[in-house]
Chain A
């Protein structure tokens, strides 16, 4: 785990390199958009290609993003009509970080959850992180091995981290307000 050559690359250089790699492998359609202005540049990935892109980034010898730090589900706001799921990747051999984002349109109807493919087959870390995103934000992950609520009880109503979440008056007849 010594400092490798690629590890000395600046964040921006490796970002450009990863873009070239992704486009040559998956074509232009995999990267929907880019966010470059922030402190950590990010790719917006097409949801249906997410697991393949992740597997490619994990296994490719120039990237080896073998460590999934975090999956965060973000509610873009009541009027935005979208949810964003953010993946923070780290490469232990190259000491690099990368941010991937997936934006999903949704009308916030409680019976129609935003859905995207699970990456728990790529990194097992995603298993619990996706359960948490499902539990608190109501994001449905397809092909997840065990998508139960993780922090809240199984019979909880609603998704508390959504901006339009209304607390229930009672839970099993117990006043909770």
Chain B
């Protein structure tokens, strides 16, 4: 195995790439300029630093710099048991905490072999809160995207409606954004009494609002001129870069893990998978990515309605129902490894577990964040665009830096 080792005593190997990067910056032409966008720029949606090599208004190259929000999720996960890691998963994509813990919990339950025993009521509550969280996440994506483009009103409208969801989830879990609600084998607590009715009221309120929001942006001529035919991502490039979620679907690929893997109770629920059709310009442009999110909110509303129907009907809460009945005291796993994936609002969220014997602390947990992969296509998309369009492209990717940097 000697040939699989690299001698680095004389010089560390990574300095070669570092030198190439520095040489690239040193060798810019007299017409070119290096501009730093971020890490404190509001349109980078967090602490992302983009180094642009520009020629006038044209972006020639983008070099992203990550890691400003790196909080050592994977190292933390190696030092505590599975249940204690759930609050940390909430902090990855902090706009969709429910979806994060759902994916994590599904992986542990599958390894324990209890994934088939979870009561239907728990599964439906999980899907319900996840879809509520998906709507909240997409509302932020749409609202902040409006701001990036220069429309302020949608932002206020989205946040107004998102606030209702935050309040409901706070009612259920006790926390506004970082819930720790979905546990291995069950839930922190059953839904509060009257939650289903309150949620149904919200849906009745929200449906007309969604139409208003749609009218405000989707057919807005200024919005279309800023987003249609901008940042076109062909489907083969999207797949090769590992893009998933609305990014991939906007490029015309009908790929939704809720349908592909059919996890939880999604096979029992009817919903469509919206894909980009290039209605305003080309398939896979910024407008398509925006539109797919709007359509997904509509589908999530459908899913919530079906969940509510079952939760207040055949799966109605009973006094003796204990959502913690299956929560294991200690997660005893035999040595194995498992990769679990789930459809987050941003795309495929994966966790790779390697367990070890005689302890409930994992040997390795690797998180595959959808934003991390979706962002990696940015240097490809941003070649030769205007700086203003770069903002439109970055906003349409909908990244959350908490998950990019983990």
Hey, which bits of chain A sit against chain B, CB under 8 A? 1, 37-40, 47-48, 66-70, 72-75, 77, 86, 88, 92, 95, 97, 99, 104-106, 110-116, 123-125, 127-128, 134, 136, 140, 142, 144, 146-154, 160-161
Contact of A86 among B7, B13, B74, B352 (CB under 8 A): B352
Contact of A151 among B6, B13, B67 (CB under 8 A): B67
What's the minimum C-beta distance from B216 to chain A, rounded to whole angstroms? Answer: 32
Given contacts A70-B368, A125-B373, contact A47 B337 (CB under 8 A): no
Q: How far is the CA of A1 from the CA of B348 in the complex (A)?
A: 18
- Check if A92 sits within 8 Å of B253, measured CB to CB: yes
For A151, the closest partner residue in chain B by CB is B67
A67 and B17 contact, CB distance less than 8 A? no
B residues in contact with A97, CB < 8 Å? 339
Which of B364, B372, B380, B405 has the most chain A CB atoms inside 10 A of its CB?
A: B364
Question: Known: A38-B336, A39-B111. Is A147-B75 also a contact (CB below 8 A)?
Answer: no
A113 contacts B337, CB within 8 Å? no
- Is residue B222 within 8 Å, beta carbon to beta carbon, of the partner chain? no
**Residues of chain B with a CB closer than 8 A to A73's CB:** 366
State A142–B3 Cα separation when bound (angstroms): 12
Interface string of B227-251 (1 = CB under 8 A from A): 0000000000001111000000000
- Choose from B1, B16, B341, B376 the contact partner of A128 (Cβ within 8 Å): B376
Q: Is the CB of B4 within 8 A of A69?
A: no
Determine which of B5, B70, B339, B406 lies in contact with A99 in the assembled complex, contact meaning CB atoms within 8 Å: B339
Partner of A111, one of B4, B9, B354, B363: B9
**In contact, A69 and B338 (Cβ under 8 angstroms):** no
Contact assessment for B242 and A67 in the assembled complex, using a CB-CB cutoff below 8 Å:
yes
Report chain A residues within 8 Å CB of B380: 124
**What residue in chain A is nearest B241 (Cβ atoms)?**
A124
Please give 11 more A-B residue pairs, beta carbons under 8 A apart, in addition to A69-B348, A124-B376, A128-B376. Answer: A38-B338, A39-B336, A40-B337, A77-B363, A88-B339, A125-B241, A127-B376, A140-B6, A146-B20, A147-B13, A148-B18
A127: which B residues are within 8 A, CB to CB? 376
* Least distance between A98 CB and chain B CB atoms (Å): 11
Query: Max chain B CB contacts within 10 Å: which of A97, A115, A123?
Result: A115
Residue B254 lies at the interface, judged by CB distance under 8 Å to chain A:
yes
The answer, among B6, B17, B405, for a CB contact under 8 Å with A113, is: B6
Q: Is A69 in contact with B242, judged by CB distance below 8 angstroms?
A: yes
Measured CA separation A136–B9 after assembly (Å)? 19
| Contact status A148-B17, CB under 8 Å | yes
Contact of B337 among A86, A92, A114, A125 (CB under 8 A): A86
Residues of B within 8 Å of A, CB-based: how many? Answer: 52
B255 touches A1 (CB 8 A): yes
CA distance A114 to B380 in the complex (A): 30
- Let me know if B339 and A146 touch, CB within 8 A: no
Collect the chain B residues with CB atoms within 8 Å of residue A104's CB. 1, 4
Task: Choose from A68, A113, A116 the contact partner of B13 (Cβ within 8 Å).
Answer: A113
| List of A residues within 8 angstroms of B337 by Cβ | 38, 40, 86
Contact partners of A128 in chain B: CB under 8 A: 372-373, 376
Of the A-B pairs whose beta carbons lie under 8 Å apart in the complex, a sample of 9, sorted by A's number, is A40-B337, A69-B242, A69-B339, A69-B368, A88-B352, A88-B368, A113-B8, A146-B17, A161-B78
Contact of B354 (CB < 8 Å), options: A39, A67, A69, A74: A74
Which residues of B308-363 are within 8 A (CB) of A?
336-339, 341, 348, 350, 352, 354, 363
Complex: chain B residue closest to A117, CB-CB = B4
Is B239 a contact partner of A66 (Cβ separation < 8 A)? yes
- List the B side residues contacting A111 at CB < 8 Å: 7-9
B260 at the A interface (CB under 8 A) = yes
Chain A residues near B18: list those with CB within 8 A: 148, 154
